[in-house]
Amino acid sequence: MERVQKILSNRGFCSRRKAEQLIKEGRVKVNGKTISIGDQATNKSKITVDNDPIDKPRRIYLMFNKPNKCITALTDPELPTVMEYIDIPERVFPVGRLDYNTTGLLLLTNDGDFANRVMHPRNEVKKTYQVKLTSTITDDQLRQAREGIDLRDGTTRPARIKKYDRTFFDIVIHEGKNQIIKRMFKKMGFRVKSLKRVAIGRLTLGKLKPGEFKELTKKEIDRIFVKIVIPKVKR
């Protein structure tokens, strides 16, 4: 037995938050009976939303190269969303988010357990970003970023940084706090000119062009969860 909102999420119908909203609105039934938040069901139960049955779909795992100037959302009344690029019959949802002006690797799926595994902090799934600043940064300042920057919601965890030139570098982190990279460097007096996620774990974009997506193989999915060790730094 599982909570119905979790079943809806795992079947890729919607996020858990959206499922809870549908339940509160009285739009979800199990075996013909309208349910409440916290009610449970089995995979054999007949679940309907607005009287339409929710079938168990094939598991879908997509990698998408998010272009600039679109938002990570299912729908939006004003702005273009990542879903406008995903042309498949199955329902999928984004795993986490990238900001409007942040580009690069975004995962989409209809597997709620997979999404939770990628996003949960305890799993420490590393994300690699390419950062371009509007002004030059010194090696000492990059060392400070590696060690951790004090922000209003806590000190950032140690990061791995690979420098290409005085304004351009890779940074590897596993924290998912809102706009954490932009906030880190803003605190240090810098402005991020461009930000692109190029890897999640050991999964990289490869030759995928902006606006393109591909379905992942099992081998590619496994690469997401390969451990990347970031050395501890003494502050």
Contact 7, 43 (CB under 8 A): yes
Catalytic residue among 52, 87, 99, 111: 99
Strand ranges (E), 43-167: 47-49, 52-53, 61-66, 93-95, 102-109, 127-133, 150-151, 154-155, 160-163
Quote the tokens at residue 77: 């009344």
Whole-number Å distance between alpha carbons of 168 and 162 = 9
Delimiting residues of CATH 3.30.2350.10 domain(s) in the chain: 57-235
Is the distance from CB of 231 to CB of 157 less than 8 angstroms?
no
CA 67 to centroid of chain Cα atoms: 15
Q: Please check whether the domain covering 57-235 is classified as CATH 3.30.2350.10.
A: yes
- CATH assignment of 2-53? 3.10.290.10
Burial of 176 (0-12, 13-18, 19+ CB in 10 A): middle
**Annotation says 99 is catalytic:** yes
- Residue spans in the chain of domains classed CATH 3.10.290.10: 2-53
pLDDT, tens only, 118-138: 999 899 999 999 999 999 999
Interval 26-52: pLDDT, tens: 999 999 999 999 999 997 899 999 998
* pTM of the full structure: 0.78
